[in-house]
Structure 1
Amino acid sequence: MNINELMAFVEVVESGSMTLAAGRLHRVQSSISQRIKRLEQQLGVTLFDRGNGLVPTEEGQLLYDYGKRIVGLIEECEWRFRRGLARDVLRLGVIECMPAPIIDRIMDVNDADGVELNIVVGNTMSLIHSLNNDELDAVIVGAGFAGADHVRVPLFSDKLVLVTERSAAKIDSIADLNDSPFLLRSKKSASFRNLEILFLDGGIVPRRVVECGSYPILFMNVRKGNGVSLVLNSSVSGGLRDEIRVHEIQGRFSKFDVELLYRKTVSHASMTFFRQTVVDALASRAP
């Protein structure tokens, strides 16, 4: 396997389309298809369930998890050499469900004097683990998981909504979802706690709970009618709202707070500046 084949595979999984992946990589579709076939031949596995769109098989999901990390490391290496090895870098972890406008505002901070960000994306629990192991300087995660040795800086609140396939009936009560299949990114994400509260409050016993591994795969399965999911309202982009149905239901499960965490012992020279810059950048955000 080579990096071009791996990059093609990752793009297909995340876009859910050979055509879109080809466009993003500036290749023709036949080139992407050939790279996927070569990967399957080399590994001796089937990477996609082609009878159900382009849904990764179990082996495909495993390769995606590895491929995403490998491609990310290569991009990080290239970035570090382009920007210079001697620069002061602040390592920031950001939860995967963060809406694109928020990421854009954080990236604007990257251009500010005194701060150069190296951003890692992941779920809340894995990011906090990396923070505690000094692999990250700060994380932006779901609230409620900070330890006694963390500094907590509240950033903003958003609401969680239920999403289903476009043709699904309106959800009048969460109790109506009993025996439904539920989709989620990961049981290590902060929103999984909210999902458990939803089950408790609605007296729901789910038919099954499926971890999708990534939000593109989650939304793809929602569109296909393979289950219902609880996601950040602001993560459902305008185009996606035309393809799925969003249900706003009140409950204690629907509030999602986001905060910045860093260790009390951190001595990073840029942390104070970064903290205030991020707070200022997100202060005017409307969920």
Structure 2
Amino acid sequence: MKNLPMDLLRTFVTIKDLGGFTQAGEILGRSQPAISLQVKRLEELLDIQLFNRAGGLKLTEEGHLLYDYACKILAMNDAVVSRLAAPSVSGSVRLGTPNDFEVSFLPVLLSQFSRAYPDVTLDVTSDVSINLRDSYKKGSYDLVMSMDEYPKHCFAENDYIVESLSWIADPDFILNLSQPVPLVLYPQGCVYRKYITDALNQASIPWRVVYCSSSLLGIQSAIKAGLGISALVLNTIPEIFKSEQTFNDLPQLGKVTIGFNYDQHNLSPAATLLLDFLRRGLKQSQDYPTSLKMSREINNNFLSVR
């Protein structure tokens, strides 16, 4: 039975997450030739090709399969090392997260973090991003995960990902374009709300707000009841909803940026660990099918208990 070296798996995952050999080398402290050699060793060990280098750095089918397993293996390795090899870390971290992620892949990540660091207490609050950032500036949070406009955003390099917005509706909902578009929205200041109303205004399509709530449950329940339509990032849409980027000829909504707000100089050891943990999880959620599947299952179960 062959053993997969952990350093080769980490190099492979880092290349995929960062989108290049050079970027991975900068993070891992190795030259590009050394990174290329590690990939070659991993390919020879498994007798497969991981990257289809024609037309860009894309994973092969075997590469996607290995990536899924490698993420799990590295997560388990890091959890064990954190518990047994690293100094014990304790304390409390005040974390702010966008409403959309309170029932998606984020609870899974936070559960994994709590198992790896049982002495760290997490105080998590969900809200609209603009409120989270305002509260962070007032000292209410140690770390905030929030959404912002793309390409304009408030995040440092490598501290964000870009996600596409999609219209969502109940499968039985019928949009009558002879009437103003009925919208289910978060309150003023929400990035989604701005994107939706700006897109409709620019397309000269009349609209009206039929339901407004700062609660994700309220938004999803109103959509499920057929009151109107809304939009979410693709990574958080439950499978029970119909999702289209150009719903009934409505305009595309573009993309948003999801990232972190923090003060590197004032982060506690516990907050630093959580930030690094969430960074990896957020990047993996973009391309990791299992994370997306878990997100949808959690969302679906969340709505079904109502």
Alignment TM class, shorter chain as reference: 0.5 to 0.7
Alignment RMSD (CA, Å): 3.1
2:98 to 95, 110, 123: 95
Rg larger in structure: 2
Q: Percent identity?
A: 12
Secondary structure at 2:206 match in 1: coil
Are the aligned partners of 2:186 and 2:214 in contact in 1 as well (CA < 8 Å)? yes
Are the aligned partners of 1:95 and 1:141 in contact in 2 as well (CA < 8 Å)? yes
Q: 1:273 to 1:224 in 2, by over 3 A?
A: closer
Q: Deviations over 1:104-133 (max 9, x none)?
A: 113322333474422111110111122111
Moved more, 126-135 or 137-146: 137-146
1:249 to 229, 239, 246: 246
Per the alignment, residue 268 of structure 1 pairs with 268
Are the aligned partners of 1:186 and 1:192 in contact in 2 as well (CA < 8 Å)? yes
- Work out the CA distance in 2 between the residues paired with 1:246 and 1:208: 20
Q: 1:226 to 1:154 in 2, by over 3 A?
A: same
What is the TM-score with the length of structure 2 in the denominator?
0.54
**Alignment pair present for 1:121 and 2:122:** no
Secondary structure at 2:284 match in 1: coil
Alignment of 1:1-287 (within 5 A): 87-98=90-101, 100-113=104-117, 115-144=120-149, 154-169=159-174, 176=177, 179-208=180-209, 210-238=211-239, 241=240, 244-249=241-246, 253-285=253-285, 286=287
Are the aligned partners of 1:182 and 1:206 in contact in 2 as well (CA < 8 Å)? yes
Q: Deviations over 1:221-279 (max 9, x none)?
A: 223322111122332223xx2xx432222966231221011135524233433322222
- Work out the CA distance in 1 between the residues paired with 2:111 and 2:99: 15
- Work out the CA distance in 2 between the residues paired with 1:153 and 1:110: 24
Are the aligned partners of 2:143 and 2:262 in contact in 1 as well (CA < 8 Å)? yes
Per the alignment, residue 41 of structure 1 pairs with none
Secondary structure at 2:266 match in 1: coil
Q: Deviations over 1:79-120 (max 9, x none)?
A: xxxxxxx95111110111115223311332233347442211
Q: 1:245 to 1:91 in 2, by over 3 A?
A: same
Which residue identity does 1:101 align to in structure 2?
F
Aligned residues: 192
Which residue identity does 1:94 align to in structure 2?
T
- Work out the CA distance in 2 between the residues paired with 1:151 and 1:234: 22
Secondary structure at 1:213 match in 2: coil
- Work out the CA distance in 2 between the residues paired with 1:262 and 1:146: 14
Q: 1:275 to 1:220 in 2, by over 3 A?
A: closer
Q: 1:181 to 1:166 in 2, by over 3 A?
A: same
